[in-house]
Amino acid sequence: MKKYFLIVLIIFICYDRIWAGGNEGKIRIEINIPSHTLKLYKDDTLMKEYPVCLGKKSTPTPEGEYKVIYKTINPYWINKDVVVPPGPRNPLGARWIGISKKIGIHGNNKPESIGTYASAGCIRMYNRDAEELYALVPLDTPVAVKYDRSEVFEDKYSGERAVIIYPDSYKKGPGNCGQLLDKLRRLDIYEELINRAQEILKRTTGKPLTASKGIGVFLNNSLMTCDALEEKDCIFINRKAAEDILGLIPGIAGLFDIGIKEAEGKVYINLTQTVKCLGGSITYDKAGDAYINMKIIKINGVFAGINYGNYDKSDLLSVEAVKQLGYEYTEDSVDIRIFDKGIIKLIRNNTWVVNADNLAKATGGFKNVSSRDGIVDMELPVFLKIGEEYYKIDSIDGRLVLNADTACSIYERSGLDVKDEDVDLETFLKDYEYETNYFGTVIEIKAKGN
């Protein structure tokens, strides 16, 4: 291990170095080695969870209690006589959050390493995650690095308690397994689950496994639910989980003719068929757990398509999905214009795509990212369409509202009494027959109501 630490990391300051500060918000970081996760807590409430890359077996990430001792934007990296300035070749990425003299949390230039053990002991993150974390954690933030192979949780969809067992990545051996079983017994886990966990602990596996009454379903190694069942070589998952996490609302499921079934008063959707139709891949453990590999983009919480980007550097959505938003558009060989704002088109995997950030900019929306699940959820604005005209709907304190000018213009055209004030959209729509698309991005007025 020591020979690897002879590779000296010297962090220079390009733009900013912070040496003093406090932790007034009770922020803390918890890093768990077997699960490849970094969790950010505020006042003991989980705020964010990120996937990370950790140290190789030969240079493991050390367990222990640390704190943030310094932070640097756009660090230099020095390896012997090689100096790498900030930029795409820098293995530290765009941010460094030091927690000891040799160990830090940082970005990277190899996003494919996230979720593996490949570092010299540091904690690598996707660059965009490192930038977000950097802005959230002050100096002196406590950082706990632990090696905990089990996680007990209550499944949101089944209401049952279950256990996730993570691989023994650093080969801690039988002693660690015994400690895990003792922990589960202290937590009053019923015996059937403990016996199932014991069987899992005897196995050598590189995937997380669940001890539960159902089948564990993981999306990009993040557990979705254990409320799943098998029938005729297909996995069926609780439909609410598919809707909440994948954005697979009934309309979208129906569009792809994805099968459903009922069991014990609940509705389940064919997950095997879902993944095949939507463009991901699925594998199974011999004990039954299912693992989906699929990076997706949702729009207003609804599945919009596969993410054709490389995730850390860009998020790319198919042009065909953009057309389904119902916005006014024109297209040529170079770009697609949304409300006369051009978005350059690219080719990925023989598919025309656009950059999600450019789409958000053109429409006045924004993008949320859940790196742990591999999901990008774009929040795009709602437009009212009357004939060939589009009117943007404002959002005020969570309410959709037509501003006074827009409402006045529409009422004048409709022959209704003009009101020189903001109008709640729900109130406005009572006067009309209308249709809304899957994404809720366009409400098209069909006719004046009774």
Strand, helix or coil at 409?
Answer: helix
Cβ–Cβ under 8 Å, residues 167 and 57: no
Distance CA 440, CA 201 (A): 46
Number of Cβ within a 10 Å radius of residue 181 = 16
Cα angle vertex 73, ends 72, 77, to 5°?
75
Rounded distance, CA 413 to CA 428, Å? 14
Give SS3 for 407. helix
Residue 335 and residue 352: Cα distance in Å, rounded? 10
311: closest CA among 327, 296, 333?
296
Residues with Cβ within 8 Å of 116's Cβ and at least 6 positions away in sequence, in order, are: 36, 53
DSSP state of 450: -
Dist. CA 373–CA 222, nearest whole Å: 6
417 phi, psi to nearest 5 deg: -60, 130
Supply 319's token pair.
């042009």
Integer Cα distance of 346 and 356 in angstroms: 12
Joined together, the tokens standing for residue 412 give 């004048």
Say how many C-beta atoms besides its own lie within 10 A of residue 50's C-beta. 24
Count other Cβ atoms within 10 Å, centred on residue 65: 10
Catalytic residues: 106, 122
